Structure 1
Amino acid sequence: MLLEMNESESGPVEEKVYVALPERLKDGKSTLSWVLNHFSNDRKIIITHVHIPPQMIPMMGTKFPANQSSPHQVNSHRQEEYEKTENYLNDYLVQCSKAKFRAEKIIFVSNDVAHGLVELVSLHGMSNLVMGAASDRRYSRGMSEVKSNTAKIVMEKALPSCKIFFICSGNLVCTREPTRPPTRTLNQVASMPMERNRQNLFTRKLSFDMWNLHLGGMIPGFSAPSTIQSSSRNSDNYSIDFSSEATRSVAASSIASEEGYSNYDLSFNRDGNFDIRFLHESRLGSQGSTSAPEQFFQGNIAGICTKLQAALVDAAKYRVQLNEEICKRERAEMDLASLIQKAEEMQNALLKEKQEMEFLHKEIERGKSRLDLLQEENKKLQEEKNIAVKELEELRNGAGCGSYGAFSEFSLLELQRATDNFSDSHKIGEGGFGCVYKGFLRNTMVAIKMLHPESLQGRLEFEREVAILSTMRHPNLVTLIGTCSEQSALVYEYLPNGSLEDRLTREGGTPPLTWQVRTRIIGEICRALLFLHLNNPNPIVHGDLKPANILLDANLVSKLSDFGLSRLLMKSNTNTSVYRTENLRGTFAYMDPEFLSSGEITVKSDVYSFGIIVLRLLTGKLPVNIAADVEGAIATDSLHLIIDESAGEWPFVQAKQLANLGLRCAQMRRRKRPDMESEWKFVESLMMAASLSELPSFRSQLDDRGIPSYFRCPIFKKVMKDPHIAADGYTYEAEAIKDWLDSGHKTSPMTNLPLVHLELTPNHALCSAIQEWLLGHP
């Protein structure tokens, strides 16, 4: 154990551990850690450091910078050096405090570390010392002896009574065991006979900077050597170490001066004893004798010790006062630090509050910007609403009546009963408009479309769809049965085969559509668009033509639905029917590129969507980049590689014709696209050819005599020779429907609803089919 046991006058023993360490914590941390790990915390740690000031020369037992010219400058420089060293050593005290050890520090000034440690061992009567063993940080586990010159000198010259432990990199290298008991203290020496007072005296620990203390005012020519130190902060007992040459010289000089001798001879023994031999008679006369020097010597050693002790007592009082001042200064610094910390906290709080205020201001600005955008959008929606209302009025006026026409009005209660209170089990579709439910209403299976009533846009779509479907009838337009105004609901005929999108993706495992059915659907879509685009007095654009809005009935007959985005076109200054809007809505892959760039929608916008649908029915591919894929296949004569094989064996000539039709309609520039009227005859011929090869479907529509039912006129009940399409969407014999109209009827002979107009359109496709059938059935 590294214990320092010094006996005081009262008898109790204080256990200490002396540890010699360099200034910086990183250089001595491992040595101190070894001590803290090997001893219990009831022992006090004494951090010992030998300080070597720069450019020092020895002067009377102490050291001064060689370049200093005055005591004040010397002391100022020393104080700075001392404070800097003391601040470094405080890190060791912190390390001891964390390990719950009591600790103090000693700063000893010397021009050599090794000799300074040797002198400290003697001054403090150390029984045990811990220090480094190597000159650098290299250490090997087999190392068993000291390496540095400092360690070697201390091992050789330190008091034999001191046990020294040499540490390197946190490991014990070796130990120098003591060879004799510790040196006695000043009190012990004072109680011994006078002739033994010549033995070395050693001191207790100095807790303040004694090498700045001058005692010249008390002892002539004396400057306090570094070997004069106080016992503790609260003790007035001091001792003088006469093992130092500087201290012995001061003592001899003082004795000779007081006795009047100008010359003396001072000699020392190996054990530290010294003798003074005077070379001349005293200045005071012949008082001296051969025995006088010995009597003088013995009598004045105690006197000198008494004077020195008195001086050191005064120095201790000064030190206490100095310590009190230091404590006051430390408290003031702590108070100042606390005030600074509070000021910094207040500053941080103000900064944080300022940042929060800036954030709130930014949020307010964003809110204002958002409000402006919403107001602008609301203004645009209001303009859209006004235009839509105007369109609705024109649609109603075009129908020749002031209402939506003859269709039923249903209550919300009826719809709830028909759909089991809109149960999810009845839901058959969902989108941005709302949800679609299947229900049984008034003995009829229907589809109920629930729009979002809280949305202005939804309400406009509701009104627009009602206005269009209530005034128009066509075999390839979905039939509107009625509405529910209190819930913004539309009631349609129920089409059991879902949408064309579902059938192309084979939703629910449904079988693929044959090429004959696909060709017929292309013709039916073309016919429906032709009906809308030729509407008088203003054409109608569907606006959202895509497979999801094309429904299929039980016989896979297609019907256009979802007219919420439809537009009634007005003649512009250039006599072109266009509609301008900033509310670009629809499905991107099917939207007219020029509509996306200009906001102008025309009948050619539907033509573009129709072209994409034709290419998709032909290839089964997704709509994105489909036109480029088909165009590339035609250019490389590899169209047969991209045709949808699940539709069966396409006639190659007809497949190529459909591919060219789709590409013509899907041109990027609007002026390069055809209109439905110019393409109808071509499409009609393709549809007729496909219908003739679709034997199972064809035969399913034969009557008892083998004649297809749609070959007969609904009025004459005979096979038609000159079929014409009326405004109600049905095909009649030209003579029969003209007689009906000429007799003053303005309603449909099939639905009894008012006809939108009285114009008739020749049904060339049906006429060709009838003629071809008659040739095969004479």
Structure 2
Amino acid sequence: MDEEEVHIAVGKNFRKEKANILWAAANFPRATITLVNVHWPSKWMPFMGGKVLYKFADEKEKEMHRGRETESMIRMLSQYKGICDTREVRAHYLTHDDILDGLVNLVKKLKIKRIVIGSRNLSKQAVLRKCCQVLVVLNGKYVSTSNDHLKHTGSSGCGRSSELLASIHELSDESDGYTTPLSDFYVSFQEDETMDEDGVIQMDSAAQLATEAEHSIEESNAYEEEVENKSEEDADQSDEIQSSRNITGEAAKLMEEMEKLQRKLKDLQDESHNHEENILSPRKMIDLLRERTLSKKRYPDLQIPDHIVQFSMAHIGKATNNFYSQNLIGEGGYGPVYKGKLGGKAVAIKLLRPHGKPHGRQGFPEFQQEVVVLGRIEHPHIVRLIGVCQESCVLVYEHLPNGTLMDGIAKGLPWRDRVRILAEQRSALAHLHSSRPHAIIHADLKLTNILLDTGNVSRLGDFGTARIVQMKPLEEDTICRRTNPMGTMGYMDPVFFMTGELTTESDVYAFGVVILQVLTGLLDLNIVEQVQEAIKMDAVHGLLDASAGSWPEVQAKQLLRIGLKCCSLERKQRPTITADADWRSLDILQTMRTASKSRKWSNGS
């Protein structure tokens, strides 16, 4: 038997592949051992303790992830080569999204005559058996030998298609490897490419490699999975749901930890600032206080629209009874909100910089954002900005006494009011998204940012994270602005969180979450999965919030489906907020709400 060279197909199961390599070394003592690996690129990327579909990441993240995968594979092959330290061992790999196609390409290009394979399913493939002798060895134990290749010529049957074979180029002398397209990338490395004394390529221990394989289940058994399960659509959908759950849960924890660290840093900065003031001389202290009272030195000039009143800090202090604790009506992430009276009217006063502390979380940029956005829009369901105090970054709004939509749901807000509020907020978002020449993206739509007046009529508030986007003719479907991820976990568009690309579809995602919460009363981060499961099990009746009264179940179920569609990870699948045809189920519920109310009044008269 010719023992010039024996090839071994290896995967990521270290224990199994080690046994097969040692078997080949023992049974072909004079042959050169060559390892071949078809690297199957993962469809998922690690993210926030979970996984996210590879296609949702931006190009830079994709490139970095593929680089890490390649480095890991090189370390793996280096480890395998070290098993037979007294023998000449070579290694080749090919990156391909089809294991069988990739292996056939390697067999053809490397002119492989004999290959050891540790997979029954792969060894049964006729296209491979026609190309070379196939030795089936499972966990170091010989099983069988296939000599089907003797029935065929050396060139027949060795390629799945002429196009696939043509994608492999000639051997490159400079790189000592084959140059191929990105989708079929081949690399070869020899002994001098392993780790040098400086550790250019680190060799992991067998235990580490085994652990890595266990943590990458879908890839460690890639050979078997590729042949046994050609269609993975259902599995991908399940993984997508699990990935979304992992993303939202882990990201929320991370966001909470970040906020704790930021608060701790702010406190340390305050302590340092106060310490510096205490050691200043009286003269320098007077100069510092004088500088702080000059608003023009503290903030750049901001053009305030004529219809927005400018108040002094003295007015604000008087209106809130010097920020009396009983006037505190809210405590948001960007500062406290006080109830006050200005000009005989009840107002809500928001301090973007906490009073008396110079290092508040939200400063002039966010203050400016609210003034610019709310100063240019007017809508019955968007909160009205009455005035500002520039010197302390204070915003004065109309006072809405019934609190937030979250408060209303907790108090058992009737379903008729809930449906009306959803229609009102869809109208508000449509107004923002269709604004010309600049569309406005709210970027932080949630229950606590929807406020209710005495009649439970809703207003959308908190525009500190809103962004104005330049609209281009004939490109209305591609409104996008790249910015740092912001907003609230659970409502934040996962695609925006991954890529930083803020679009109107990001508001649609958040609105979808609001729809699900309003109909079910659930506030869990995995609400999307709960609603999906309820619809699948035909258990919508038990999911609808009973405190809202008797829902029209058929129409409510249809609206839940719209909410789920809003929360799709594919932006193109989400409904457009301005397209009436996409919101028929909401319109029908609105009509039913009005009709049922009219009947109730008629019966009571």
**For this structure pair, what is the TM-score category when the shorter chain's length is used for normalisation?**
0.3 to 0.5
Q: Which has the larger radius of gyration?
A: 1
TM-score normalised by L of structure 1: 0.36
Higher relative contact order (CA 8 A, sep 6+): 2
TM-score normalised by L of structure 2: 0.47
